[in-house]
Amino acid sequence: GAVVSQHPSRVICKSGTSVKIECRSLDFQATTMFWYRQFPKKSLMLMATSNEGSKATYEQGVEKDKFLINHASLTLSTLTVTSAHPEDSSFYICSASLAGRPNEQFFGPGTRLTVL
């Protein structure tokens, strides 16, 4: 149980275009979803936290207009990278938590974004 999926797993786009990444909790309703960014050989950097039906809370230094997060349902959150540039190329990972399992986060498989 507690499976999280991400789509797509890999995406290549041209500079200036927008890319949407989906994060789904497959067998549970997520109370909170998290979006992380990971650079090669580095740790996970929390970008934002989102709860269903409310605005995401962004970490300091993360541009909310650049990284749009929508959490429309208890099983789906999306991250849209707007007007992507090569420096946005990274590994994006989402995670989800559920009621009754305090502290725990269940991670998705990640999405590799490459901006040309």
Partner 1 sequence: QQQVKQSPQSLIVQKGGISIINCAYENTAFDYFPWYQQFPGKGPALLIAIRPDVSEKKEGRFTISFNKSAKQFSLHIMDSQPGDSATYFCAASKLNAGNMLTFGGGTRLMVKP
Q: Which residues bind partner 1 (CB under 8 A)?
A: 4, 6, 31-32, 34, 41-44, 46, 49, 91, 93, 95, 97, 102-110, 112
Choose between 83 and 104: whose C-beta lies nearer to partner 1: 104
Residue 37, classified by CB atoms within 10 Å of its CB into exposed (0-12), middle (13-18) or buried (19+), is buried
Nearest distance from C-beta of residue 51 to partner 1, angstroms = 9
Residue 95 near residue 32, CB atoms below 8 Å: no
- Which residue in 52, 67, 62, 65 sits closest to 21, CA to CA? 67
Choose between 82 and 114: whose C-beta lies nearer to partner 1: 114
Nearest distance from C-beta of residue 102 to partner 1, angstroms = 6
Choose between 15 and 101: whose C-beta lies nearer to partner 1: 101
